[in-house]
Amino acid sequence: MLYPIKACVISHLGYQRKNQEDNFLLNDGQYISKDEQKMFSEDKQYFIRKVLSDKTDRAIFAVSDGMGGHDAGEVASFLAMTHLCREKEQLLSVSRIEDAIERFHICVSSMNQEICYEARRDISLNGMGTTLTSVVFVQGKAVGMNVGDSRMYKYNGDKLVQISKDHTVGQRLKEYNLIPFQEIEHLETRKALTRYLGIKEQEVKLKCSTTDIFTTQGREWFLLCSDGLSDVVTESMLEKVMSTFYEEENVEEAVHMLVKMALDGVSGGNDNITAMIIEIQGPSLKGEENL
């Protein structure tokens, strides 16, 4: 069975950054190319917008947020997305989503090795890294996987739910209840990443977090974003925007509004901003899944 999928992504430079360190991957292989990265750094463009509409039984989408001095962050996120693009066919040539998950974990390990190798090879790239958040669809099933703090949310017309896990110092302190929540919010190190692509595996054995496996039913939206969005726009505001445009069945306007809100926020535009919404149309909730 083929499932209708629509996706839109906008990646904005923001107001303070010189380089676009975010990147993304659509299922048809679209990502921010080196030429497009150069246009950002030369002030020839401030945002990029890409869309996809298809019917398929297998798909993968991703967002990455690079970090590192000079242009190292954009190199790391580019390497992650191009690596995932090369491995896409192998990742999706499965009949069960559990097999795709296993292959994705292997892909993340090889992706990390590639980024670490390039950082060793070129001293100007030393210390570079990137986050990764990705959703995979296989024959009516969906799963999310992430490393770092680029988030993934799920929305089906009812409630917006964050399904990714933040790999940050702040999140770790919350999980272990080490200090009061109010104090965590004021810690300068709360946003420091505990996992990311580019981390030396002799220091930490890198493993991505995996969500539950979802059966796609009805019309479902998945939001993938960098922290340029999630740090500025509250979850309640995200849900309000998603709800409004979900009812209108307008993925593109939803993404546009989210990026606009991130730019207009109190601390908006200080970082690169990337927002991607994927809509997948599964069988209706009235028991049509066996048709």
Task: Give, in order, the Cα–Cα distances in Å from 37 to each of 34, 129, 173, 197.
Answer: 5, 17, 36, 20
The reported pLDDT for the residue numbered 291 is: 38
CATH number at residue 227: 3.60.40.10
Percent share of the chain, pLDDT over 90 = 82
> Containing domain of residue 17, as a range?
3-157+195-283
The reported pLDDT for the residue numbered 188 is: 74
DSSP conformational letter for 165? -
Q: How many domains does the chain have?
A: 1
- Torsion 125-73-102-96 (CA) sign: negative
**CB 108 within 8 Å of CB 206:** yes
| 179 part of a folded domain | no
| 182 part of a folded domain | no
Indicate if the pLDDT at residue 289 is higher than 60: no
| 165 part of a folded domain | no
| 90 part of a folded domain | yes
Q: What is the pLDDT of residues 255-277, one digit of tens each?
A: 999 999 999 988 788 999 999 99
Give bridge partners of residue 278 from the DSSP assignment: 7, 222
How much is the mean pLDDT over the chain? Answer: 93
| 174 part of a folded domain | no
Q: What is the pLDDT of residues 10-44, one digit of tens each?
A: 999 999 999 999 999 999 999 999 999 999 999 99
Structure tokens at 110: 């090889």
| 249 part of a folded domain | yes
Lowest mean pLDDT among 125-134, 153-162, 183-192, 252-261: 183-192
| 276 part of a folded domain | yes
| 180 part of a folded domain | no
Q: What is the pTM of this model?
A: 0.94
- Between the CA atoms of 168, 235, 155 and 161, what dihedral angle is there, to the nearest 10 degrees? 50
Task: Give, in order, the Cα–Cα distances in Å from 75 to each of 72, 88, 107, 229, 280.
Answer: 5, 20, 18, 21, 31
DSSP conformational letter for 284? -
